[in-house]
Amino acid sequence: MQHTVTAPPGRPPALRAVGLGRGFRGVRAVDGVDLDVPMGSVLGLLGPNGSGKTTLMRMLLGLLAPTEGAVELLGRRLPGRAAEVLPHVGALIELPAMHPHRTGRQNLLRYAATEPLLDTARIPSAVAAVLDRVGLSGSADRRVREYSLGMRQRLGLAVPLLTRRRLVVLDEPTNGLDPAGTRDVRRLIGEMHAAGATVVISSHLLGEIEATCTHVAVLRAGRLLTAGPLRDLLGGTSDTVVVGTPDGARAVRALVERGFDAVGASGDRVHVRGAQAPEVVALLVHAGVAVHELTRPSARLEDVFARLTDGHDAQPLPARAETWTGAGAGR
């Protein structure tokens, strides 16, 4: 079953896939994906290895022709209007080709010269600025053959940042980076988001997706399992109710006697698994136990991802139009 999530009426999405599919030698790498990416959002594209993430990204950017379906970028249909829209789109799908005997600065100058939205007179300052943004100012004049994998990744990330973009698509942007580099990428994504850009990221680092993204889409075997705001995906998925009570030991006894899986936690908290909040409150009140607070913690993205991709059919997220609010959307 496919899940389509749409942007609010009257506001076109930054990126739209309609029935998008691609086959390779009889294998469905991407299978009928319908997806709208809201303008101004940061979408994390998740899926196990071989789920079709990179193939989907390449089709969304017009780098790979779909077997069926259609793509729109910033309201323009591809491939017919690609020349009109692609200057406003930056991407890092695989490391761009760099001349190993040229310096990082020289390589970026070469790429900057091909940017239609970058005036020739501004190229040197734009290159210097982006080298500083990706943390390569001190290595800008070293030959690329001397760069580490992490430095090459930073240099590759600099290419889509040479000019201001309306849409940026990044495939595993933290690959090869140390923790400091990963934090830098998170900062750069935050800066682009704050400036109004829409950002699409694929990553196997679920913690980074959870810390960075406003929305999530999950693929498995080329099919879209679910998509929507991250807060909806995480909210209400935990099967544990946390009870705040001044009499934790008595609460645990009352719950266990009625067959509930209840354990005391630190302080005045009792954790009850596999229970509905109303029945927990009713039981404790009937037993004379004071209940000061009742909460259901949000699940971690790692747990939700495992649940969605373990081979069972996923349930769609609620597609509440009011949650697709672009740059204001958040967790």
Q: Which domain holds residue 275?
A: 240-295
Residues 293-331 have pLDDT tens digits of: 887 666 677 777 777 777 544 443 333 322 232 223 333
Same domain membership, residue 250 and residue 219: no
The distance of Cα 145 from the centroid of its chain, to the nearest Å, equals 32
Task: Assess whether 244 and 231 both reside in one domain.
Answer: no
Q: Is residue 7 part of a domain?
A: no
Inside any domain, residue 6: no
Q: To 5 degrees, how large is the angle CA 74–CA 79–CA 84?
A: 50
Total-model pTM: 0.74
Instruction: State residue 324's pLDDT score.
Output: 30
Domain check: are 279 and 145 in the same one? no
Q: What is the pLDDT of residue 274?
A: 81
Higher pLDDT, 80 or 266: 80
Tell me what pLDDT residue 34 has: 95
Evaluate the CA torsion angle 314, 319, 325, 328 in order and state its sign. negative
Same domain, 276 and 322: no
Residue type, 227: A
User: What is the C-alpha end-to-end distance of the chain, expressed in Å?
Assistant: 26
From start to end of 197-254, where are the E strands? 198-202, 215-220, 223-229, 240-244
Does 69 share its domain with 215?
Answer: yes
Q: Looking at the structure, do residues 102 and 227 belong to the same domain, yes or no?
A: yes
One domain, residues 228 and 291: no
Asked if residue 267 and residue 194 are part of one domain, the reply reads no
Task: Describe the crossing of helices 149-158 and 123-133 by its angle, rounded to 10 degrees.
Answer: 130
Q: Are residues 256 and 309 in the same domain?
A: no
The pLDDT mean for the chain works out to 85
Contact 248, 240 (CB under 8 A): no
Asked if 131 and 108 count as a contact pair (C-beta separation under 8 A), the reply is: yes
Indicate the pLDDT class of residue 41, thresholds 50, 70 and 90. Answer: very high
Task: Specify the number of domains making up the chain.
Answer: 2
Query: Helix 277-286 to helix 248-257 angle, to the nearest 10 degrees?
Result: 110
Residue 4 falls inside a structural domain: no
pLDDT value at residue 203: 86
* pLDDT, tens digit, 9 for 90 and up, residues 199-221: 999 988 888 888 889 999 999 99
Residue 25 covered by a domain: yes
- Position 265 scores a pLDDT of 76
Strand order in the sheet with 293-295: 261-264, 269-273, 240-244, 293-295
What whole-number percentage of the chain has pLDDT above 70? 87
Q: Which CATH number fits the domain that encloses residue 130? A: 3.40.50.300
DSSP state of 94: S
CATH number of the CATH domain containing 251? 3.30.70.100
Query: What is the predicted pLDDT for the residue at 10?
Result: 59
Residue 88 is assigned to a structural domain of this protein: yes
Residues 127-135: contacts with CB under 8 Å, at least 24 apart: 127/162, 130/158, 130/161, 130/162, 131/104, 131/105, 131/158, 133/158, 133/161, 133/188, 134/158, 134/161, 134/184, 134/188, 135/181, 135/184
- Four-point Cα dihedral 192, 193, 196, 201, nearest 10: 90
| Same-domain status, 130 and 21 | yes
For tokens 């699409």, what's the residue? 200
Examine residue 184 and state whether it is found in any structural domain, yes or no. yes
Residues 184 and 276 in one domain: no
Q: Does 153 lie in the same domain as 24?
A: yes
Cα gap 200→178, rounded to integer Å: 21
| Residue 10 counted as domain residue | no
pLDDT at 1 over 50: no
Does residue 8 fall inside a structural domain?
no
